[in-house]
A = this chain, B = another copy of it.
Amino acid sequence: MRISELCDVSGVPLPSIKYYLREGLLPPGERTAANQADYGQQHVQRLKLVRALLEVGGLPVATAQRVIQAIDDDELPLTYVFGVAQYAISDGRVFDEVESGAGLETVDDLVDERGWTVSADNPGRFGAARVLDALDSLGHGHIAEYLPQYAEAAETIARADLATLGHHDDRADMAENVVVGTVLGDTLIQSLRRLAQENESNRRYPVGENQ
Residues of A within 8 A of B (CB): 45, 48-49, 52, 55-56, 58, 77-79, 82-83, 86, 89-90, 93-94, 107, 111, 114, 116-119, 122-128, 130-132, 134-135, 137-140, 142-143, 145-146, 149-164, 167, 171, 176-177, 180-182, 184-205, 210-211
Contact = CB atoms under 8 A, between A and B. Distances in A.
Contact of A116 (B114, B134, B196): B196
Nearest to A132: B188
**Is the contact region of chain A dominated by helix, strand, or loop, or is it mixed?**
helix
Contacts of A55: 93
Nearest to A52: B134
Contact of A56 (B107, B117, B131, B150): B131
A197 B182 contact: yes
Nearest to A203: B117
Contact of A118 (B45, B155, B198): B198
Most buried by B among A78, A142, A199: A199
A117 B197 contact: no
A193 B200 contact: no
Contacts of A154: 153, 189, 192-193, 195-196
A119 B198 contact: yes
B143 A164 contact: yes
A154 B55 CA distance: 23
A195 B146 contact: no
A114 B147 CA distance: 24
